Amino acid sequence: MKFTTRKKDDAVLDEVVDLSELSIPEHMAVIMDGNGRWAKRRGLPRVAGHKAGAESVSKVVEACGRLGIKFVTLYAFSSENWNRPQREVDSLMGLLEKFLKDKTPQMVNDNVRFRAIGRLDKLPPSVMRELEYAVEVTSGNTGVTMNLALSYGGREEIVDAAKQLMRRCADGELCIDEVDNEVFGSAMYAPDMPDPCLLVRTSGEVRLSNFLLWQLSYAEIVITDTLWPDFRYESLLSALREYSARDRRFGKLL
Ligand code: IPE
Ligand code: IPE
Ligand code: MG
Predicted confidence band at 16 (pLDDT cuts at 50, 70, 90)? low
Identify the pLDDT of residue 167.
98
The confidence score (pLDDT) of residue 254 equals 84
**pLDDT at 5 exceeding the cut of 60:** no
Q: What percent of the chain has pLDDT over 90?
A: 91
CATH of the domain at 49: 3.40.1180.10
According to DSSP H, which parts of 68-193 are helical? 86-109, 125-138, 154-170, 181-185
Q: Which atom of ligand 1 is nearest to the CA of 50?
A: 3
208 domain-assigned: no
Nearest-atom number in ligand 2 for the CA of 205 is 13
* Tens digits of residue pLDDT in 135-188: 999 999 999 999 999 999 999 999 999 999 999 999 999 999 999 999 999 999
Q: What is the pLDDT of residues 202-244, one digit of tens each?
A: 999 999 999 999 999 999 999 999 999 999 999 999 999 999 9
- Residue 19: band (very low, low, confident or very high) from pLDDT cuts 50, 70, 90: confident
Model confidence band, residue 18 (pLDDT cutoffs 50, 70, 90): confident
pLDDT(9) > 60: no
At 218 the pLDDT is 98
Answer whether residue 211 is part of any domain: no
Task: Tell me the three state secondary structure of residue 117.
Answer: strand
Average pLDDT for residues 190-199, to the nearest whole number?
Answer: 98
pLDDT grade, residue 17 (50/70/90)? confident
pLDDT for 75 beyond 50: yes
1 located within any domain: no
Is 212 within the bounds of a domain?
A: no
Segment 114-141, tens digit of pLDDT:
999 999 999 999 999 999 999 999 999 9
Centre of ligand 3 from the C-alpha of residue 35, in Å = 7
User: Residue 4 and residue 66: Cα distance in Å, rounded?
Assistant: 11
**What's the CA gap between 105 and 110, in Å, rounded?**
9
Residue 227, domain member (yes or no): yes
Asked about 247 being catalytic, the answer comes back as: no
Number of domains, the chain: 1
pLDDT, averaged across the chain: 94
CA angle 164, 165, 166 (to 5 degrees): 95
Under a CB-based contact definition with an 8 Å cutoff, are residues 223 and 203 in contact?
Answer: no
CA neighbor of 203 nearest in space, from 223, 187, 219, 181:
223
Domain assignment present for 39: yes
CA of 184 to the centre of ligand 3 (A): 30
Please tell me the distance between residue 152's alpha carbon and the centre of ligand 2 in angstroms.
11
- Split at pLDDT 50, 70, 90, the class of 15 is low
Residue 71 lies inside a defined structural domain of this protein = yes
Interval 90-110 mean pLDDT: 98
Q: What percent of the chain has pLDDT over 70?
A: 94
In a domain, 86, yes or no: yes
Residues with CB under 6 A from ligand 2: 31-33, 75-78, 81, 205, 207, 209
Q: Which H, E and C letters describe 30-55, residue by residue?
A: EECCCHHHHHHHCCCCHHHHHHHHHH
10 is catalytic: no
Mean pLDDT within 11-26: 74
What domain range includes position 117? 25-140+197-203+220-244
Question: How many CA atoms does the CB half-sphere of 136 hold within 13 Å?
Answer: 6
pLDDT value at residue 13: 42
